[in-house]
Amino acid sequence: MAKRKSRMPKLLPKKKMPKLDVIFKCPFCESNDAVTCSIDLKDHYGAANCVFCEARYSTTANHLTKPIDIYSEWIDKCHEVNKEAHVLSFELEDTADSASSII
Protein backbone atom coordinates (compact mmCIF):
# COMPACT_ATOMS: atom_id res chain seq x y z
CA MET A 1 0.00 0.00 0.00
CA ALA A 2 1.63 3.14 -1.18
CA LYS A 3 1.39 5.86 1.25
CA ARG A 4 0.15 8.85 -0.51
CA LYS A 5 2.40 11.69 0.04
CA SER A 6 0.28 14.55 0.89
CA ARG A 7 1.76 17.74 -0.14
CA MET A 8 0.18 19.83 2.40
CA PRO A 9 1.23 23.36 1.96
CA LYS A 10 2.83 24.61 5.03
CA LEU A 11 0.25 26.25 7.15
CA LEU A 12 1.16 29.82 7.20
CA PRO A 13 0.10 31.75 10.18
CA LYS A 14 -2.79 33.89 9.16
CA LYS A 15 -1.50 37.16 8.07
CA LYS A 16 -2.86 39.72 10.36
CA MET A 17 -4.42 42.62 8.67
CA PRO A 18 -2.42 45.66 9.43
CA LYS A 19 -4.33 47.47 12.05
CA LEU A 20 -5.71 50.71 10.87
CA ASP A 21 -4.13 53.67 12.44
CA VAL A 22 -6.32 55.16 15.06
CA ILE A 23 -3.80 57.51 16.52
CA PHE A 24 -2.59 60.34 14.43
CA LYS A 25 -0.38 63.33 14.38
CA CYS A 26 -1.98 66.49 15.59
CA PRO A 27 -2.28 69.18 12.94
CA PHE A 28 -2.07 71.90 15.56
CA CYS A 29 0.62 71.01 18.03
CA GLU A 30 2.21 68.53 15.63
CA SER A 31 2.64 65.90 18.28
CA ASN A 32 2.84 62.39 16.99
CA ASP A 33 0.49 59.83 18.43
CA ALA A 34 -1.68 62.56 19.80
CA VAL A 35 -4.99 62.44 18.03
CA THR A 36 -7.49 59.75 18.81
CA CYS A 37 -10.72 59.23 16.98
CA SER A 38 -13.97 57.93 18.25
CA ILE A 39 -17.04 56.99 16.33
CA ASP A 40 -20.49 56.86 17.77
CA LEU A 41 -22.63 54.89 15.39
CA LYS A 42 -25.76 55.47 17.38
CA ASP A 43 -25.58 59.19 17.01
CA HIS A 44 -23.75 59.13 13.67
CA TYR A 45 -21.07 61.16 15.22
CA GLY A 46 -17.36 61.02 14.77
CA ALA A 47 -14.81 62.94 16.71
CA ALA A 48 -11.09 63.41 16.76
CA ASN A 49 -9.21 65.09 19.49
CA CYS A 50 -5.67 65.74 20.50
CA VAL A 51 -4.64 64.59 23.92
CA PHE A 52 -2.00 67.27 24.15
CA CYS A 53 -3.44 70.54 22.95
CA GLU A 54 -7.07 69.42 23.10
CA ALA A 55 -7.78 70.44 19.57
CA ARG A 56 -11.00 68.84 18.50
CA TYR A 57 -12.89 68.05 15.40
CA SER A 58 -16.27 66.49 15.07
CA THR A 59 -18.19 65.37 12.07
CA THR A 60 -20.90 63.01 11.04
CA ALA A 61 -20.06 59.36 10.80
CA ASN A 62 -21.67 56.19 9.60
CA HIS A 63 -20.81 52.54 9.74
CA LEU A 64 -18.36 53.01 6.89
CA THR A 65 -16.52 55.79 8.59
CA LYS A 66 -13.06 54.91 9.77
CA PRO A 67 -10.94 56.88 12.18
CA ILE A 68 -8.67 57.81 9.31
CA ASP A 69 -11.66 59.33 7.51
CA ILE A 70 -12.39 61.62 10.38
CA TYR A 71 -8.78 62.55 10.68
CA SER A 72 -8.27 63.26 7.00
CA GLU A 73 -11.44 65.32 6.94
CA TRP A 74 -10.05 67.32 9.79
CA ILE A 75 -6.78 67.82 7.97
CA ASP A 76 -8.65 68.93 4.88
CA LYS A 77 -10.59 71.43 6.91
CA CYS A 78 -7.39 72.70 8.43
CA HIS A 79 -5.92 73.25 5.00
CA GLU A 80 -9.05 75.07 3.91
CA VAL A 81 -8.88 77.31 6.91
CA ASN A 82 -5.23 77.95 6.36
CA LYS A 83 -5.91 78.91 2.79
CA GLU A 84 -8.63 81.33 3.74
CA ALA A 85 -6.79 82.90 6.57
CA HIS A 86 -3.28 82.53 7.72
CA VAL A 87 -4.43 82.96 11.23
CA LEU A 88 -5.18 79.76 13.01
CA SER A 89 -8.72 80.40 13.88
CA PHE A 90 -10.55 77.22 14.02
CA GLU A 91 -14.05 77.48 15.10
CA LEU A 92 -15.33 74.01 15.14
CA GLU A 93 -18.90 73.17 15.34
CA ASP A 94 -19.74 72.48 18.86
CA THR A 95 -22.11 69.63 19.26
CA ALA A 96 -23.19 70.79 22.66
CA ASP A 97 -26.59 72.24 22.04
CA SER A 98 -26.26 75.16 24.36
CA ALA A 99 -23.27 76.81 25.86
CA SER A 100 -25.37 78.56 28.42
CA SER A 101 -26.63 75.69 30.47
CA ILE A 102 -25.82 77.06 33.82
CA ILE A 103 -27.68 75.27 36.51
Work out which of 25, 38, 53, 56 binds Zn ion, going by CB under 5 A.
53
Asked if 90 is part of the footprint of Zn ion (rule: CB under 5 A), the reply reads: no
Asked if 71 is part of the footprint of Zn ion (rule: CB under 5 A), the reply reads: no
> Least distance (Å) from Zn ion to the CB of residue 101?
27
Residue of 10, 65, 18, 22 lying closest to 43 (CA atoms):
65
Work out which of 21, 22, 25, 29 binds Zn ion, going by CB under 5 A.
29
Asked if 22 is part of the footprint of Zn ion (rule: CB under 5 A), the reply reads: no
Q: From CA 81, how far away is CA 6, in angstroms rounded?
A: 64
Asked if 26 is part of the footprint of Zn ion (rule: CB under 5 A), the reply reads: yes
How many CB atoms neighbour CB 25 within 10 A?
A: 16
56 vs 66, beta carbon nearer Zn ion = 56
Contacts of 33 (CB under 8 A, 6+ apart): 23, 24, 25
- Please report, as ranges, the residues that interact with Zn ion according to CB under 5 A: 26, 28-29, 50, 52-53, 55
